[in-house]
Amino acid sequence: MNKVVLSTLAALALSTAASAEAMTLYTDPVTGQVFTKDGEGRQAMGDYVSAEAAASDKGPTVENPDSVEFLMGKETGPNMKFTASDNPDMWIKLGVRIQGTFENWKTDYADATPDTDNWDAYLRRTRLEVAAGFTKHISYVMDIRNDKANYQDDGEGTFNVGDAYLQIKKPFGTSLVNYKLYRGKIDVSRTETVKSAYVLHYDRPHVADEAAQYITHNRRGTNAKMYGDWKKKIHYEVAFGDGVSSAKFKDASGNSIGGDVDQESFFYGGKVVLSPFSGWEETKRTETYFAQGKHFEIGAAYWKSPDINYDNGTISQKIDHELINLEMSAHYKGAFIQAEYFEFDGVVKNRLSSETGKSNGWYATGEYVIEQLGYLAPFVRYEKWDKWEDAASGEDYELESKIAGINWYLRGNTTKVGLVYQEDDYGASLKGGEHTDTRMKLTTQWFF
């Protein structure tokens, strides 16, 4: 191409650098001149766009560029992201999550109650995820879910909204101050805060599931939260909002308390997480690291849900729920370990009694990822929960759970399968009386 054409193209590129639209250029084959409009004797050269326009018009993206290469490819983002061509600060993400379980569930009772042996297949989680960016700082995240569809004899279930929060990131230009409004998780537990697509086992510890309901409904009752971090060394969050739900309000035995619940005050509290060692900072709340990197952290939380009035026809009283949570997690390449301790105050001993007291429990879990075997990862978990601390002679409120399994990360968390053995021992004072549940599960996940 001669100098006239080159200089013309350069001038046109400069003059249209801010344009987001494609421009068709034409040339006169006799003179070599370049034109922006068609005319007699002119030939189309092609469409040209500015560098800025080209960068903002790459189309949807889904793969995580930092992912390792698994047997089925790179892990996804998550979600497929579409960016507006005229404003890169505006975007939308769409994704799905489906977890399937095939299970054999046996119950062995200590008394004369007949033992059971059942087979079940169900969708542990079924979700459509949506997120939208409105400005550089503001975005919205939500999902629509139908979890445990076909679980036992529950049928297909119904859809409901899970996460539904407005996120305001770095409004003052610092990671120290961020906000979430409406239905965002509060950090009552590390494993409950970790996205369910990133946990080692789809069913979280029993004691952590209780913490998820003890302060606010499903740990995301409508709330307002401020959170942030300092150089990834110190993470914090404080929040207040709507309290407990009658549907998840249970006594120490595990029976629903029933009746009406009217809470006079918002819950409140917060959490602090520290990463004290240089180079071992926690950058993401997850349980799956795929033998990459390292981290170490410890954390503590205090939450209170006060002035809970309930009336179940037999008992009418006002109580406060308090929760203390301690956590620790670490990983170094393929090895991962995590543990948490929970202390509950304001526990109702029996739904037919006004007596309240304390409960405590803990769990520890670990995994080892074997890269050389296609990212096979054996894992274990042990849990002990004393659901009523001041048990009298002849009472047994203890729950003990043991899990061993293996995950196979075919494409990270995007595609994985697992085989799990679980044994849960229930004390005589718990719902169902003294018995042991034994479960064998084949699990699968598809997520992007």
**Domain range for 21:** 3-54
Give, for all 448 residues of the chain, the pLDDT tens digit.
444 444 444 444 444 444 445 677 778 787 877 877 788 778 787 766 555 545 445 578 889 889 999 999 999 988 999 999 889 899 999 999 999 999 999 999 999 999 999 999 999 999 999 999 999 999 999 999 999 999 888 878 888 999 999 999 999 999 999 999 999 999 999 999 999 999 999 999 999 999 999 999 999 999 999 999 999 999 999 999 999 999 999 999 999 999 999 999 999 999 999 999 999 999 999 999 999 999 999 999 999 999 999 999 999 999 999 999 999 999 999 999 999 999 999 999 999 999 999 999 999 999 999 999 999 999 999 999 999 998 998 899 999 999 999 999 999 999 999 999 999 999 999 999 999 999 999 999 999 9
Best CA proximity match to 284, nearest among 266, 270, 297? 297
> DSSP assignment of 319-371, as one string?
EEEEEEEEEEEEEETTEEEEEEEEEEEEEES-TTS--EEEEEEEEEEEEE-BG
Question: Which residue, 11, 30, 54, sits at the end of a domain?
Answer: 54
Rounded to the nearest angstrom, the gap between the alpha carbon of residue 175 and the centroid of all alpha carbons in its chain is 21
Best CA proximity match to 347, nearest among 209, 215, 439? 215
Q: Across the strands, what pairs with 122?
A: 101
Tally Cβ neighbours within 10 Å of residue 271: 23
Q: How many domains are there within the chain?
A: 2
What pLDDT is attached to residue 27? Answer: 82
Mark whether 135 and 36 lie in a shared domain: no
Mark whether 159 and 28 lie in a shared domain: no
Mark whether 347 and 442 lie in a shared domain: yes
Mark whether 62 and 50 lie in a shared domain: no
106: domain CATH number is: 2.40.160.10
Mark whether 24 and 97 lie in a shared domain: no
Question: Which residue, 15, 38, 54, sits at the end of a domain?
Answer: 54
What pLDDT is attached to residue 48? Answer: 64
Cα–Cα distance measured from residue 381 to residue 400, given in angstroms and rounded to the nearest whole number: 11
Mark whether 406 and 352 lie in a shared domain: yes
Cα–Cα distance measured from residue 185 to residue 234, given in angstroms and rounded to the nearest whole number: 19
Mark whether 45 and 72 lie in a shared domain: no
Mark whether 12 and 111 lie in a shared domain: no
Question: Which residue, 11, 39, 54, sits at the end of a domain?
Answer: 54
Q: Give the global pTM.
A: 0.86
Mark whether 108 and 224 lie in a shared domain: yes
Mark whether 89 and 33 lie in a shared domain: no
Mark whether 11 and 155 lie in a shared domain: no
Mark whether 329 and 261 lie in a shared domain: yes
